[in-house]
Structure 1
Amino acid sequence: MGSIDDFWRQLNVKKGPKATLSGLSNIPGLTTHSRTLPAKGSASPALPAARFAAALAPSELPDQQGLQISQLKSKLFPDGENQKAQDVQLLQQIVSGPMLVPVVRLLGDPVEKCREGSLTLLASAAEQLPEPAALLSCLMPAVADRMGDVPVEEPSEELRLAIIRLIAGPVILRSGQCLLPYLTLVVKVVCRALEDPFHDIKKAGCSAIANLCKQLPSDALRPQHDALLASLLPNLGHQHSRVRVSTLAALDTLVTKGVSEQAMVQVIAPAVKPLVSDRASAVKEQCFAAVGSWLGASRQGRLLTAIISTSQSADDRLKSNDFASSSHSQASWPASFTHPFQAQPAATTQHMVQDILPAILPSVVTDLREWTVALRLNAARCLQSIFVLAGAAPSAHLPHLLSPLCSAAGDEEEQVAHYVVQAAQVLGAFVKLGHWLPLMVDSVAAPQASLPTRVNALVVLSAMLHAAGVVQQSVDSEQLLLLVGALCSDAVRGVDQAPAQQQLLAVIYNTISLAGGQCSLLSQQLWLLLLQLQASESSQELAMQAATASQRLAAACGQSSIAGLAAMHAPSLTSALAQNVDSWTAHSPDCHVFSVLLLSCPGTTLSALIPQALQITCSILPDPERDPALRIHLLQLLERMTANEDQAKALQGAAAQHLADQALLPALVWHAGKTAAAVRFAAISALSTLLAHQLLGFEQLQAMLAGNRLLPMLFQSLEEEYFVDTRLAACSATYHLLISAGKLLTYEQCRLTYPELLKRLDDSSNAVRTSICAALKVFVDNTSSSLDDGNAKYFINGMLIHMDDMDPVIQEAVCTVLEIAAAHRPALVNEAVSTVSHLHRNSIYTSRVLKACER
């Protein structure tokens, strides 16, 4: 085929008597009968263009038209599947010459097979033509008509994909500068492809953008940026990750080619920002790679530091420290809260972020209040990264930063709060303590702040103090005084909820770590706070942690143990606490501090505090008008102190007598109601413990018995109606009193005591009946000679009834008491038992008592 005419002759070669044109039947203007071809080189009956137009004109049989275009393609590309033309020069003459208009016209044919054949032919030709730009004048308007308007005219997804692949591939890649006159049409088609619902078409549109950026100069593309971005950026939220990856790649080439600063900040920034927390690792990896290249540029790309801010992701793609300066040592870098940055950012990066900090911080802070977790999480990560890259620059923005930071620290999503705390730590490390400490102190100690607000402020303050200690910032005495003063304020130290107390303890602990030896200047105030936390009833673990912090404070002050702190500060603290004792309630911080202070003091230190401690307790316990919960709390405190072997030494002798006379016995006075009964139970328990540890000496017991107050209060407690436990405690107190002072009882006191003891054998509680038998044993053993025969008989007969009890435990207990009585008064016991032995259901116990009388 040396010419178009030769090609035409090949199409009309004679096939036989009735041969038709090969694959070209029913073409208007062409005969279907065999005829002799004119000699080579002779004039054609019509112009080539007319012949091709006629060959591809619409047929009365539309199905044949697709066959015709297929046959033409097979003649042009006889190489079969490879679609390879034998003579590209002839192909150029045919396709860009007489065949161009008819083939391009078929793009609008109503029959899909015809449109498909036209596109296939054009795509194959465009890839092989020496000068594919010759197609543009006719092809681009037709393609734009077919796929450049809204709505898109081409209904077939497959053909729309073929069109955009034709444009993205050979048309753009092989046309070069010749594409410039048709750039508007190309962009229209590309935009429609990006907006197409078919994901493969979207990806082909992204490829078209990338190829356009490679082939055309920046100035030529700049007018088309707005249109391209408007269609491209929505695909960053497409459901398919591969579409998002392709979109990012296209955006990367477009940004690298150069976009306006306004587009970067207002258009690209909001669109790219969500991708840093994308669910697909490939998308995040592509995102970080793209942003890294933009940050490396000297143009608007630096503004995207605010968007991505080298944000951390779940798979930690920025671990390579692309923004770190190799000139800084990693050993001194606080990597625990600057993750994933393993070294200090390069100076150029810091300057870059510092320049744009005022512009980017407001939007990031606003995003911390977004209603979706993903947006808040992204903002928290972003903020932490910005602070790492900005160094000390955020110090100028602290008044507008700290309040939102405190609010976000209480986010219900744990991961968001985690990154906010890390951001606070970065601020505490890189910004000088003098800039942020006064602001944080105001937030923590604000009188009108709600509990959640105060807790959040304590969280942020604790994080910043910790970070300042890690980087070894210095704190002067004025700053330390300001901080401790705020912590000691009533608004802060008065919190009684566990979360607030936990954060307060963290602040104190980090303050001790930061200040070190300077804590000795304010050790009394700090220990006061720790004592209050040790007294917390909300959490035993918190109390243990506060005790550990007290040990750390003692070490920082040069003391070997808490005993050293107690020796230094206990007297002055007790005096200070006593000043407002009249206003104490059970929930007063000073009350709890007083309790823990006494329990923390060793015996030697407590001895010096006892006069003050007794003065405080004796001013509260006798008064029935004071808070009952407070009275119970103090009575339990006294019981714990007397039960402690070391501390009990400080309460021996006169101090114990003063305590019993002025505090415990007045608290046993009967008042109506269960609340008053609860106070009496706490008082009799404390008295029982004091007597059990024999803190009252011989002289003190004698004086108390002579005062005629101790026994009546015990007898009253033995008859307590509200609580069985009170009667049990009274039985125990009576038992220990009889052990210590049984032989000191006078005849009258013995005569009054045994009926009270016998009454408890009729108690409704078997536990009380059993317990009183222990006191009866001691009474019989110590006072047997004090009773006359008449009272002794009455006493013995009162017990004999219960030796025939239905409960074997009571029978055994009473039998044991009578056996002891038989050793002291055998005749009286023998007579009484012999008289009633035949009435008892079981003779075992009577026999035992009679045998005891014989011994």
Structure 2
Amino acid sequence: MVLAAVIRGCSRQSLKPHLNNLASYLSQTQICQGSEDSHYMEQLLCCVQALLQVGQEDCKESSLQLMEVLVTVMAVSGAAGLREKVQETMNLLALIQKWDGTLDLYQQHMDHLMEWLTSSHQDWSCHSVELRQFEVVVTQSGPVLGKALNYFIPIIKTCLQTTKDPQMRLTLFTILSQVFLEANSTVNSQQQFHGHLETVIKDILVPNLQWHAGRTAAAIRTTAISCLWALIHSEILSSKQIIEIQELLMPQIINTLEEDSKMTRLMSCRIINIFLKACTDTIDPDKLIKIYPELLKRLDDTSNKVRIAATSSLISWLKCIKNDDDGKSFFKGNMQYLYKELLVHLDDPDSTVQDAVLGVLKEGSILFPDLLVEEIEAVKYKHRSLVYCEQLLQHIQSTRGIL
């Protein structure tokens, strides 16, 4: 507080010889991380503001050091009001250098900021100030992040190893999900992310999706699934890349259909749906046949959203079966079982679920219409209403002319 007052009381000319020393001093770890008390951080911010207000353009040479202090204050401060003041101060730092805004500051200093953080990332935990500094740099730098992947990817790869602090991994997966949702304006702004995709899948997602006992492990799997969903949903992946990911991740995603978390089960159904749509002509029949029983189980889910998502995935699964004698004969026994189970759910108390199941049965009727008609006739009088069975029979008649 005294230092900030002294700086404000200086003339620009008298402050100029001391600017670099002051900025370097404030950016030292023992000073800018000297306390997490909000009053301390506020006075630290006042020192930077005073330097900028008095020093003006003379602060250009100290821009990196001042940026490090501002990132730290934003990282440590829990008060939204102080974060807004930090943002205003960054805007002022950009203005005196004739930049358009804070993104230009990150552009100017990104490599140095990442090197600054990389020096300690091997030892981070959920309590590390450096982790929060990393979050600020990654989430605030926007498209500049796409130019720093050679720093960013190794950091997250190291910190997301399964031996690392679980709470830290939860934080990092949340950060990853944020940037993946806006991938084209963050990690893929330079169209360079594809070169790191294999590392993200094999070294980060696959290990963290493995089943381990405990609530924390389950929470990590949920955040990892969220991260994968954000990546796929960002639409930066080609069909070929989705097929490659599917080959690596389908077994783990099928396992997550049994998670306690409703959100995990829902996202897993949606991811499987996208995988199946991308792999219509490429997926091995032996692997394909293992998928539908797991989706079928989700029709008994406690969440209707999950049940509806499962029906969508089943439609995509049916489209993967080639409608020729050689292609579909392999599936006949499984299709009969699928028909039987779906007809049970066609009598569901919820009409939304009934409509969704009817859609699956209509899609499935293309493969073995005669067999499906037999199954319908065997159960339709057990249903509370004949409406859905009659609709299905009419659909089969109109498409195949078999009745």
TM-score (norm 2): 0.88
Per the alignment, residue 226 of structure 2 pairs with 685
- Give unmatched runs, 5+ long, in structure 1: 1-457
Q: Distance in 1 between matches of 2:355 and 2:77?
A: 43
In the alignment, the residues of structure 2 paired with residue 529 and residue 772 of structure 1 have an alpha-carbon distance, to the nearest angstrom, of: 49
Q: Distance in 2 between matches of 1:612 and 1:845?
A: 57
Structure 1 residues 828 and 595: CA distance shift in structure 2, 3 A = farther
Amino acid at match of 1:671: H
* Aligned counterpart for 1:704 among listed residues 226, 236, 245: 245
Q: 2:215 corresponds to which letter in structure 1?
A: K
Measure the CA separation in 1 of the matches of 2:376 and 2:42.
67
SS of residue in 1 equivalent to 2:125: coil
Is contact 1:692-1:736 (8 Å) kept? no
Contact 2:280 2:320 in 1 (8 A): yes
User: Which residue does 2:340 correspond to in 1?
Assistant: 797
Question: How far apart are 1:481 and its partner, in Å?
Answer: 1.8
Equivalent residue for 1:842, pick from 382, 385, 400: 385
- Structure with the bigger RCO (C-alpha within 8 Å, sep 6+) is 2
1:568 is aligned to 2:132: no
The gaps in structure 2 that reach 5 residues or longer are none
SS in 1 for 2:14: coil
- Given candidates 28, 42, 54, the residue that maps to 1:514 is 54
Counterpart Cα distance in 1 of 2:165 and 2:125: 6
**Equivalent position amino acid for 1:668 in 2:** L
Among 291, 295, 307, which residue is 1:757 paired with? 295
Q: CA separation in 2, counterparts of 1:783 and 1:826?
A: 15
Residue by residue, what CA displacement relative to the aligned partner does 1:795-838 show, whole Å, maximum 9, x if unpaired?
Answer: 22222211112233322221222223235553343333232211
The alpha-carbon deviation at position 652 of structure 1 amounts to: 4.3
- 1:742 and 1:839, CA in 2 relative to 1: closer, same or farther beyond 3 A? same
Matched, 1:586 2:129: no
Match of 2:202 in 1: 661
CA distance in 1, matches of 2:166, 2:13: 49
Measured after TM superposition, the shift of residue 608 of structure 1 is: 2.7
2:215 counterpart of 1:674 = yes
Query: 1:145-160 to 2 correspondence within 5 Å?
Result: none
Indicate the residue corresponding to 2:271 in structure 1: 733
Alignment counterpart, residue 356 of structure 2, candidates 813, 818, 829: 813
Q: 1:784 to 1:833 in 2, by over 3 A?
A: farther
- 1:420-463 deviation per Cα after TM superposition (whole angstroms, max 9, x unaligned): xxxxxxxxxxxxxxxxxxxxxxxxxxxxxxxxxxxxxx4x4444
- 2:313 is paired with a residue whose SS is helix
Matched, 1:646 2:185: yes
Alpha-carbon contact 1:665-1:683 (below 8 Å) kept: no
CA contact (8 A) 2:19 2:51 kept: no
User: What is the CA distance between 1:581 and its match in structure 2?
Assistant: 0.9
SS of 2:346 mapped into structure 1: helix
In the alignment, the residues of structure 2 paired with residue 838 and residue 541 of structure 1 have an alpha-carbon distance, to the nearest angstrom, of: 66
Alpha-carbon spacing, 1:483–1:649, altered in 2? closer, same or farther (3 Å): closer
The range that moved more, 518-527 or 737-746, is 737-746
RMSD of the TM alignment (CA)?
A: 2.5
8 Å contact kept, 2:25–2:31:
no
SS of corresponding position for 1:475: helix
Q: 1:494 to 1:716 in 2, by over 3 A?
A: farther
Whole-angstrom distance in 2 between the partners of 1:537 and 1:805: 52
- Where does 1:210-249 land on structure 2 (aligned, <5 Å)? none
Q: 1:617 aligns with which of 129, 144, 156?
A: 156
**1:645-690 CA distances to partner (integer Å, 9 max, x unpaired)?**
4125346433233212211221111111111111111101001111
Matched, 1:488 2:28: yes
Q: Larger % of helix: which?
A: 2
Letter in 1 for 2:175: L
CA contact (8 A) 1:823 1:852 kept: no
Report what 1:766 is aligned to: 304
Q: Is the 8 A contact 1:577 1:594 kept in 2?
A: yes
The Cα shift of 1:768 comes to 2.1
Matched ranges for 1:72-87 at <5 A = none
Which amino acid in the other structure matches residue 759 of structure 1? K
- 8 Å Cα contact 2:32-2:72 kept in structure 1: no
AA in 2 matched with 1:636:
T
Kept in 1: contact 2:209–2:221 (CA 8 A): yes
In the alignment of these two chains, the number of paired residues is 390
Secondary structure in structure 2 of the residue aligned to 1:804:
coil
